[in-house]
Amino acid sequence: MAIEDDVLVIGGGLAGAIAALSAADADRGARVRLVTYKQSTLRHASGLIDVLGYAPDGEGPLADPFPALEGLPRGHPYERVGIDAVREALDFFDGVVGDAYAGGHTDRNALVPTHGGTVKPTARYPTSAAAGLASDDRDGLLVGFETLPDFDAPLAAAHLEAAGVPFDCRGVTLRFPGIVRDDAKVTRYAHLLDRNERVGADALEEAAITTDGGEIGSRDALAAAVRDRLADETRVGFPAILGDERADEVRADLADALGVDVFEVPMGPPSLPGIRLEEMLYDALEAAGVRVTSGVPVVDYETSAGGSDRIARVVVDRHGAEIPHRAEQYVLATGGLVGKGIEADRERFVEQIFDCHVPHADDRYDWFVDDVFGEQPYARFGLAPDHELRPLDANGDPEFANLRAAGAVLGGYDYAAEKSGAGVSIATGYVTGTRAAEESG
């Protein structure tokens, strides 16, 4: 017996989650299911929501992304959905994440320092990063840790000053009280601070922290380690490890203990801000009544009888058993080359589930340029959709009448160069989910 739904979303990343949430919101009575195979790439993302940081011609960083959206080339995902839909999608995202994210008060991009000392133009950012914006002229201290080599605080501070930020910035490297392993996961730092674990006298001595008594809580220990390094700075930035389930509480306690504002600097993978965003989205899916089937790949599909252009059902592999899932409407949000929604061999690029057409040059030597820093053609490879976000075949006709695509599986843009990945995922996820729900009734 096939499992029946109104809308079936394939893919559990940002685009897939937003598609499922928007479908459930557009039709509160719709049966919506999200099917995902692997952990989403959100755990490797910065947690920043970038709409458009740089124009396709390289102009930027853009202070306001929306005027630039009007001039995007035909086929860009934003051109497909339209500017109004981008705004609506961002409003929808704001409603999902609530006060966990800032930036919704303005169209202008914020400039958020990242762990390498670069400044990223972004439309929405975690509130944990709000006190660290590069447009703020208050002096700042960046704090790194010996056991966390991914964040070199002195080097990041030097890069920020070289970039011309309007404040003085210093960086220091300390011993994190209570952690001695260089390979400790970022979640270990977060959980230690979440639980405010006690730090013993020996660990305090190793971190050069002097106290009147014996062991103290990890939050007080961290504040004590930083306090003597503060000069006249009124804000302190830490790598994004300041708690998970109680991150706001950890940050508030450190700010109170230090007497300055505290912020987090977004990090590379694995990323706690990305993990927090994933948890928020999946909590929202549960609250919206979306059924989530995880750990199962979609391995096949069938069309309706008589050569129909409609998908009748897909088949998932659950521990060797093939389980059919039937729906009225489908959303494909499996990711691009990074997410393995599209793969390449020596001959062609292939969409993995429905074998949808991926436009690209026949000669594989035209897929790339020799300049490693040049504009690589393959970065724009993906499905070519119509304005309904239905993937088109080689003749320009919809592959299937009831299939839409969202996120990085789409082509026509270079999300890394444009700094547009999260924005495209949210905008196209919102549009596909909403329209799928409207047509499933």
pLDDT, one tens digit per residue, over 101-115 is 999 999 999 999 998
What average pLDDT does range 185-198 have in this prediction? Answer: 91
Higher pLDDT, 183 or 322: 322
Q: Which of 435, 427, 438, 439 is nearest to 79 (CA)?
A: 427
Q: Is residue 206 part of a domain?
A: yes
Q: Quick: pLDDT tens for 277-299.
A: 999 999 999 999 999 999 899 99
409: pLDDT confidence band, cut at 50, 70 and 90?
Answer: very high
Given this model, what pLDDT does residue 250 score?
97
Q: Is residue 193 part of a domain?
A: yes
Given this model, what pLDDT does residue 17 score?
97
Q: Quick: pLDDT tens for 119-173.
A: 999 999 999 999 999 999 999 999 999 999 889 999 999 999 999 999 999 999 9
Structure tokens at 112: 């958020």
Backbone angles phi, psi at 362, to 5 degrees: -70, -35
Say if pTM beats, i.e. exceeds, 0.85.
yes
pLDDT at 14 over 80: yes
Higher pLDDT, 370 or 145: 145
Give the H or E element holding residue 14. Answer: helix 14-26
98: pLDDT confidence band, cut at 50, 70 and 90?
Answer: very high
Given this model, what pLDDT does residue 428 score?
98
Q: Is residue 275 part of a domain?
A: no
Q: Is residue 365 part of a domain?
A: no
Average pLDDT, the chain: 91
What's the total number of domains in the chain?
Answer: 1
Residue pair 5/415 in contact by the 8 Å Cβ criterion: no
Residue pair 12/36 in contact by the 8 Å Cβ criterion: yes
Q: Which residues contact 57 (CB under 8 A, 6 or more apart)?
A: none
pLDDT at 347 over 90: no
Residue pair 52/62 in contact by the 8 Å Cβ criterion: yes
Q: Which of 103, 114, 144, 130 is nearest to 235 (CA)?
A: 130
pLDDT at 215 over 70: yes
Q: Is residue 132 part of a domain?
A: yes
212: pLDDT confidence band, cut at 50, 70 and 90?
Answer: low
Given this model, what pLDDT does residue 181 score?
75
What average pLDDT does range 363-375 have in this prediction? Answer: 72
306: pLDDT confidence band, cut at 50, 70 and 90?
Answer: low
pLDDT at 374 over 90: no
pLDDT at 241 over 80: yes
DSSP 127: G
Q: Is residue 168 part of a domain?
A: yes
Q: Is residue 34 part of a domain?
A: no
Given this model, what pLDDT does residue 112 score?
95
Q: Quick: pLDDT tens for 376-389.
A: 777 888 999 999 99
Domain range for residue 158?
110-268
Higher pLDDT, 198 or 254: 254
Given this model, what pLDDT does residue 111 score?
94
Q: Is residue 259 part of a domain?
A: yes
Q: Quick: pLDDT tens for 35-62.
A: 999 777 788 888 999 999 999 888 889 9
Instruction: Give the pairing type, strands 110-113 and 119-122.
Output: antiparallel
194: pLDDT confidence band, cut at 50, 70 and 90?
Answer: very high
